[in-house]
Amino acid sequence: MMLKDAKHKKLKLGKDLGILSHNDEIVKEIIFDGITTYSTSFETMAEKAAEFILHRKKIQEIVPTLLIRRGSL
């Protein structure tokens, strides 16, 4: 909805309006010259979950968050 409104009002992302989205997806890389995202590594989380299941070893760990800066900021 926000992107549709910005387009309708002829606002330029990264200049007139900034957008930051959670969880990176391929579509966010493509639309509107790219939407900036912050996301954690789901691959790392899956590895840690598998490690817990296989070894029954409790894990308490911070999975780093990555900022992927694109045209929307």
Q: Residues 30-54: pLDDT tens digits?
A: 998 899 999 998 899 999 999 999 9
Task: Give residue limits of the domains in the chain.
Answer: 2-68
pTM summary value:
0.72
* Alpha carbons 70 and 63: distance in angstroms, whole number: 22
**Starting from the edge strand earliest in sequence, which strands make up the sheet with 20-22, in order?**
20-22, 36-40, 65-68
pLDDT tops 90 at residue 58:
no
Q: Residues 5-33: pLDDT tens digits?
A: 988 999 998 999 999 999 999 999 999 88
Query: Residue 29: CB partners within 8 Å, gap ≥ 6?
Result: 35, 70
pLDDT tops 90 at residue 67:
yes
Give me 65's structure tokens: 């968050």
From the centroid of its chain, how far is CA 25? 7
- The β-bridge relationship of strands 36-40 and 20-22 is parallel
